[in-house]
């Protein structure tokens, strides 16, 4: 099972020196990948609560966030081996033709190290700011995936759809990876899980209890097989949003969440994730108050690497 770590992309720690230091240390420690999230706004009066927090409050670190693709390009330029990925990029916020050019450029400049996890978003405020209809985000994501694949695999791609258009054109720049960088998707409902099964290379869940994750991934693979795909080719890339506290019994809503608890409990969750056949764990530690600052982040990376041995 491979290991990934998130870059210091949010809050006061999001500086060039910190991004460079974390990227280089992750590569030196033998991590397989570096990841960024996508956050456009920190609304003062949000219309919907933040879904990843029990109280619905968005982390204050999100008031200052580096652009995900620029941050990944910077990290790729600082390193030589380690992969760089998005977890997750809010796909419907972007024009897919422009995005195809950005992502292709990043894959070329990183010598084929790009990975992509997409999501459909949850914040109406961000969609309004981007000038995109929030209600059509699922349909836009489906069509955007189609446009990206055409741009990456066809000599003269063309697309005339409901939301996007691409006149027949030569887009000579191709990704290094064939046919394109791997695409994963965050998904939690049956409709979005079907999108993973039919249109992507794997699933990128977060915050789901590990037994439920196993069941849901089995369902995704069954959907893939029903669609005529080889289910064994789908990857499971788990995002581990860490929270350290005293040991608590149980798991899920009634107890502790996945990768929440003591070091021992987090280690147990890493082992359980390996046992269900996950291909990779991506550790998200930016929200841990006890590991802030560059030295704290580097210490956290080293402890997690040792814990996952």
pLDDT, tens digit (0-9, with 9 covering 90-100), for 114-170? 999 999 999 999 999 999 999 999 999 999 999 999 999 999 999 999 999 999 999
The CATH class for the domain spanning 2-307 reads alpha beta
Q: Is the pLDDT of residue 251 over 70?
A: no
For residue 244, the cross-strand partners are 261
Q: Are 265 and 210 in contact (CB under 8 A)?
A: no
CB 83 within 8 A of CB 33: yes
Structure token pair of residue 15:
């500086």
In total, the chain counts a number of residues equal to 309
Q: What pLDDT score was predicted for residue 17? A: 96
Residue 252 reports pLDDT greater than 80: no
Q: Indicate the SS3 state at residue 41.
A: coil
Residue 293 has pLDDT above 90, yes or no: no
pLDDT tens profile 229-238: 999 999 999 9
pLDDT of residue 80: 97
Task: Bin 80: left if φ > 0, else alpha if -120 < ψ < 50, else beta.
Answer: alpha
Q: Which among 84-98, 253-267, 278-292 has the top mean pLDDT?
A: 84-98
How are beta strands 280-284 and 2-6 bridged, if at all? parallel
Q: What is the pLDDT of residue 268?
A: 96
Total-model pTM: 0.94
Whether 92 has a pLDDT exceeding 70, the answer reads yes
**If you average pLDDT over residues 216-224, what whole number do you get?**
97
Q: Are 236 and 206 in contact (CB under 8 A)?
A: no
CA 89 vs CA 17, 185, 236: distances in Å: 24, 9, 17
CA end-to-end span of the chain: 10
Neighbours of 10 (CB within 10 A): 21
Mean pLDDT of 9-20: 95
Point out which residues pair with 87 in neighbouring strands: 117
- Write out pLDDT tens, residues 257-275: 899 999 999 999 999 999 9
Query: What is the spatial distance between Cα 115 and Cα 182, in angstroms, rounded to a whole number?
Result: 5
- 7 burial (CB, 10 Å; 0-12 / 13-18 / 19+) is buried
Which letter does DSSP use for residue 116 in this model?
E
pLDDT single digits (tens) 237-250:
999 999 988 765 55
Distance CA 152, CA 105 (A): 11
- Average pLDDT of the chain is 94
DSSP strand pairing (114-119 vs 165-166): unpaired
Backbone phi, then psi, for 93, in 5-degree steps?
Answer: -75, -15
What are the DSSP E strand ranges found in the chain?
A: 2-6, 33-36, 83-90, 114-119, 159-160, 165-166, 183-185, 202-203, 235-241, 243-244, 260-261, 280-284
Average pLDDT in the 268-284 region?
Answer: 97
Question: Which residues, including other chains, have CB under 8 Å from residue 45's CB and lie 6 or more apart?
Answer: none
Q: What does each C-alpha distance from 223 to 97, 166, 229 come to in angstroms? A: 29, 30, 9
Which pLDDT score is estimated for 62? 95
Least confident interval from 42-46, 54-58, 120-124, 304-308: 54-58
Q: pLDDT category, 280, cuts 50, 70, 90?
A: very high
């Amino acid at each position: 099972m491979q290991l990934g770590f998130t870059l210091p992309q949010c809050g006061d720690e999001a500086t060039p020196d910190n991004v460079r230091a974390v990227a280089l240390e992750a590569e030196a420690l033998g991590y397989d990948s570096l990841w960024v999230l996508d956050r456009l706004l920190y609304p003062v009066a949000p219309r919907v609560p933040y879904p990843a927090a029990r109280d619905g409050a968005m982390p204050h670190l999100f008031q200052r966030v580096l652009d995900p693709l620029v941050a990944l390009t910077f990290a790729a330029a600082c390193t030589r081996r380690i992969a760089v990925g998005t977890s997750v990029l809010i796909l419907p916020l972007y024009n897919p033709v422009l995005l195809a050019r950005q992502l292709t450029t990043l894959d070329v400049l990183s010598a084929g190290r790009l990975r992509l996890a997409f999501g459909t978003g949850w914040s109406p405020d961000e969609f309004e700011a981007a000038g995109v209809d929030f209600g059509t985000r699922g349909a836009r994501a489906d069509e955007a995936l189609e446009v990206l694949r055409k741009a990456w695999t066809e000599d003269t791609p063309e697309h005339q759809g409901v939301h996007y258009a691409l006149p027949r054109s030569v887009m000579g720049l191709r990704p290094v990876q064939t046919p394109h960088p791997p695409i994963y998707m965050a998904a939690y409902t049956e409709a979005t899980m079907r999108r993973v099964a039919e249109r992507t290379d794997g699933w990128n869940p977060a915050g789901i209890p590990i037994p439920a994750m196993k069941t849901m991934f089995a369902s995704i693979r069954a959907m893939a097989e029903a669609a005529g795909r080889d289910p064994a080719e789908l990857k499971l890339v788990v995002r581990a949003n860490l929270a350290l506290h005293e040991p608590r019994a149980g798991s899920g809503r009634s107890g502790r969440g996945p990768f929440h608890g003591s070091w021992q409990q987090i280690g147990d969750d890493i082992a359980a994730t390996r046992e269900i056949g996950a291909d990779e764990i991506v550790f998200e530690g930016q929200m841990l108050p006890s590991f802030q600052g560059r030295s704290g982040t580097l210490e956290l990376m080293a402890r997690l690497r040792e814990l996952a041995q």
